[in-house]
Amino acid sequence: MAAKSKMERRKFLKGGMLAGAAAIAQPKAVMAQQSPSASEEAEVLITDSCGSDYMVDVIKSLGFEYVCANPGSSFRGMQESIINYGGNRNPEFITNCHEESSVAMAHGYFKIEGKPMAVLAHGTVGLQHASMAIYNAWCDRVPVYIMAGNYVDAAIRRPAEWYHGVQDCAGIVRDFTKWDDQPASLIHFGESAVRAYKIAMTPPMAPVLVVLDAGLQEGPNESRTKLSIPKLTVPAPPQGEAGAVNELARLLVAAENPVLVADRLARTTAAMPLLIELAETLQAAVIDQGGRMNFPSHHPLNQTQRAAAAVGEADLVVGLEVADFWATVNALRDQVHRSTRKLTKPGAKLATITSGDLYIKANYQDFRRLAEVDLAIAADGEVTLPALIEAVKRLATGDRQRLFQQRGAKLAEASRTTRERMRQAATYAWDANPVSTARVAAELWAVIKNEDWSLVSNYYSEAGIWPRRLWDFNKPYQWPGHAGGGGIGYGAPSSVGAALANKKYGRFSVSLQTDGDLMYAPGVLWTAAHHRIPLLSVMLNNRGYHQEIMHVQRMCNERNRGVDRGTMGSTLTDPHIDFAKIAQGMGLHAEGPITDPKDLGPALRRAAAAVKRGEPALVDIVTQAR
Amino acid sequence: MMKRILSTVAGFVVIGVANAPAQQPASSAPAGNAKAGQALFMKIGCYECHGNEGQGGAAGPRIGRSPMLAFRNFITYIRAPRGEMPPYSAKVIPEKDVADIYAYLASLPPAPAVESIPLLKPDR
């Protein structure tokens, strides 16, 4: 903003109260009805022109359906523009009770919808709350579009706004965001807002941050006739270099036992059919590590439930957007002296296609251990698949195709046998109390399998593994993948965000919700109720942070000082938490705690009926630890 | 030094709990108290990876019946596991306690036949 303009405004306000920031517009300012008695100059108290209206115009042009926020004064101008000027549509304001929930909701929403959700937060206290969830999204390579309010101009800050003012707003999250900017003018905002979207959506995707100066939001839009909305053109993702793709095709066709490992491959719904085509062309084993919904769980070539055996048999392992390829082909043993061993047989070739090779940062170590591979293609996996399939088809001669068919038959039999073994494994502790996690998965499957269902929870639940053993996943939206950074507290809000994305498609969203996770920010249940987001939350309530119980137990064992106190500090008992009452208090249909497995089916069916009416519902089940 | 000792001990343990090929009759185990064993199974954290009834999970294999591992192999593995399982020394679990846990696992009823559970019928 021009210095001249600031000076004029200060003079204009002489003798008047500073009501909020200087909200003065010159061209169409409406004069206050009350005549100033003491001041010689009339104070302008109302304006119909503000910077945040233009910001909303820009945000609308980017296609956001929702903006999640816990309300904050540093973006009050933006919030008002969204709900009044923007009509609270595209984006619609979603009320959160914690900024971590806002970002995690946006994370879960993207996993289903394939486009970012916007988030608003205070640039200081809000961003601090949000930072863990931003880190999760960063590690998961998910774009979240964050706008942070800030009071850049110290001369206009109210006392509390000094706490909400910061020189470098993005500094706290810069290590785990892809790009940020603090625009100093509306023209600058328009360009940065569009640039941020482009950067966020270009693989490898990641969160971005645009700082909204409160003065810019609330100040007059003096140049609105000169402003335009920059055109958004999302860049085409980088495809693998042709020579390298042909070389990979040659390796695949020549291999006796190639294994395709997919993790974050399915960036869009186009990926699953492509991976099926590649796998079926080669009759190759597929391991779906579950970072995204990559491959049907019951496909005969799916060897996920016997992944170690498949990798051990392989003479070629190809990682497709695998976050931790080293750990795919190696194992680390967690004992007093940590040791590693290769999982592949000697001479096995390794290849990767990943956009992770295109962009990396130094501080946070989410890039994992360096995998020694024979061929590395730095490109987006999904967009590289068509060329790879074409090259494979060109090279697959009749002799090789006959071999492929024999291999496929063996893999289909291995897959069938493994599924049988999983069904058998589920029978153990079938009637146990607390309820076995296998029983929960089986009971839940009976309730949802005839619905257009979407499992929106993540891998922290053990039953997140049982569904993948027992359920028939075959649609891209049926599994959203993992949390990313391992920050607990992701599950509940990301499930609500994914359910929000599913709502307009009429899908039945279900989550397996762990107790420790929900206790981080249970207020997101209220958000689900308030915004009528249908979601069946099935609590896997093992009354503790069980992963940590196991870690401390390991220390007890290794130090040989007694092994019976490993649960101290990690349980959620005394008193037991009544999650049904918590959920009921936030307006949900809720039942539990259920301890007898015979009560489970009826409770799930009643809750499912509530979800079909468009409400969120929760069933609290006291389960075994894992 | 510690590393060398552990690797030597591990060298004697030739089978894992999950897929032990060599079986001894369960009767060769010292007499144990199944009820006390159940309490110990929870108290010392066996349930954490193996489930309350030894049914197994992602963090640990099934160790209940079908079939039971021979006691000697069972206790050898507990003392010096080859895999991810943390070691249980004789100081923290004397052999008598191991026998009680073994008795508890051996006392568990067999799992119901998968065909008897409608919820586990294959789809279609």
The whole-angstrom separation of Cα A139 and Cα B21 is 42
Do A433 and A596 form a contact (C-beta atoms < 8 A)? yes
Q: Which of B48, B101, B105, B114 to mutate to test the interface with A (most CBs of A within 10 A)?
A: B48
Domain membership flag for residue B101: yes
Chain B environment of A307 (Cβ under 8 Å):
none
Residue A223's pLDDT is 75
Do A260 and A405 form a contact (C-beta atoms < 8 A)? no
The whole-angstrom separation of Cα B86 and Cα B79 is 9
User: Would you list the domain boundaries of chain A?
Assistant: 46-226, 242-412, 427-622
Chain B environment of A554 (Cβ under 8 Å):
86
Closest chain B CA to residue A545: B48
Do A150 and A212 form a contact (C-beta atoms < 8 A)? yes
Q: Helix, strand, or coil here: A354?
A: strand
Domain count, chain B: 1
Domain membership flag for residue B12: no
Given CB atoms, is A327 within the 8 Å cutoff of chain B? no
The whole-angstrom separation of Cα A74 and Cα A149 is 5
Given CB atoms, is A553 within the 8 Å cutoff of chain B? yes
Question: Strand order in A589-594's β-sheet?
Answer: A453-455, A508-514, A535-541, A616-622, A589-594
Residue A39's pLDDT is 54
A352 to chain B nearest CA, in Å? 27
A609 to chain B nearest CA, in Å? 20
Residue A555's pLDDT is 95
* Same fold for the pair A242-412 and A427-622: yes
Residue A157 neighbours by CB distance under 10 Å = 18
Domain membership flag for residue B17: no
List CB contacts of A482: < 8 A, sequence separation 6 or more.
Answer: A140, A290, A291, A458, A459
Given CB atoms, is A600 within the 8 Å cutoff of chain B? no
B123 to chain A nearest CA, in Å? 8
Mean pLDDT in runs of 10 for chain A (626 residues)? 40 35 38 49 83 97 98 97 98 98 98 98 97 98 98 92 94 98 96 98 98 95 84 96 98 98 97 98 96 96 96 98 97 94 97 96 94 97 98 96 97 97 95 95 97 86 73 96 91 97 98 95 98 97 93 94 92 97 98 97 98 98 92
Which among A429, A558, A567 has the least Cβ separation from residue B51? A429
Domain membership flag for residue B117: no
B43 to chain A nearest CA, in Å? 5
Do A315 and A426 form a contact (C-beta atoms < 8 A)? no
Residue A114's pLDDT is 97
pLDDT above 90 covers a percentage of chain B that reads 61
Residue A464's pLDDT is 53
Calculate the CA dihedral of residues A166, A170, A171, A175 and round it to 10 degrees.
Answer: 170
Residue B28's pLDDT is 73
Domain membership flag for residue B119: no
Which tokens go with A287?
């391991």
Do A70 and A125 form a contact (C-beta atoms < 8 A)? no
Chain B environment of A446 (Cβ under 8 Å):
119
Residue A604's pLDDT is 98
Q: Which pairs with CB-CB distance under 8 Å and at least 24 residues apart come from A231-237?
A: A231/A194, A232/A61, A232/A62, A232/A194, A232/A197, A232/A198, A233/A198, A234/A197, A234/A198, A234/A201, A234/A202, A235/A198, A235/A202, A236/A383, A237/A202, A237/A203, A237/A267, A237/A355, A237/A379, A237/A380, A237/A382, A237/A383
Q: Which of A335, A448, A565 to mutate to test the interface with B (most CBs of B within 10 A)?
A: A335
Residue B123's pLDDT is 81
Tell me, what amino acid is at B18? A
Residue B99 has pLDDT above 60, yes or no: yes
Do A481 and A508 form a contact (C-beta atoms < 8 A)? no
Given CB atoms, is B97 within the 8 Å cutoff of chain A? no
Domain membership flag for residue B105: yes
CATH number for the domain running over A427-622 = 3.40.50.970
CATH of the domain at B59: 1.10.760.10
Which tokens go with A129?
């709350």
Of A273, A274, A624, the residue nearest A437 (C-alpha): A624
Average pLDDT, chain B: 80
Ordered alpha helix ranges (H), chain B: 2-12, 34-43, 46-50, 71-79, 95-107
Q: Across the interface, do A549 and B123 touch by the CB < 8 Å criterion?
A: no
Given CB atoms, is A430 within the 8 Å cutoff of chain B? yes
Residue A33's pLDDT is 44
B29 to chain A nearest CA, in Å? 23
Closest chain A CA to residue B119: A442
**In angstroms, how far is CA A452 from the centroid of its own chain?**
21
Q: Across the interface, do B57 and A560 touch by the CB < 8 Å criterion?
A: no
- With a CB-CB cutoff of 8 Å, which residues 15-54 of chain B face chain A? 43-45, 47-49, 51-54
Which residue range(s) make up the domain with B107? 34-111
Residue B3 has pLDDT above 80, yes or no: no
A499 to chain B nearest CA, in Å? 26
Domain membership flag for residue B38: yes
Q: What angle do CA A232, A357, A278 make, to 5 degrees?
A: 85
List CB contacts of A187: < 8 A, sequence separation 6 or more.
Answer: A223, A226, A227
**pTM for the complete prediction?**
0.91
Q: Helix, strand, or coil here: A544?
A: strand
Q: Say which CATH architecture domain A46-226 belongs to.
A: 3-Layer(aba) Sandwich (3.40)
Pairing of strands A330-333, A339-342: antiparallel
Q: What are phi and psi of A286, to 5 degrees?
A: -125, 130
Q: Across the interface, do A557 and B87 touch by the CB < 8 Å criterion?
A: yes
> Of A42 and B95, which is predicted with more confidence?
B95
Which among B56, B59, B83 has the least Cβ separation from residue A550? B59
Given CB atoms, is A546 within the 8 Å cutoff of chain B? yes
Which among A424, A560, A564 has the least Cβ separation from residue B91? A560
Which among A427, A470, A564 has the least Cβ separation from residue B112? A427
Domain membership flag for residue B8: no
Q: What is A242-412's CATH superfamily?
A: TPP-binding domain (3.40.50.1220)
Given CB atoms, is A504 within the 8 Å cutoff of chain B? no
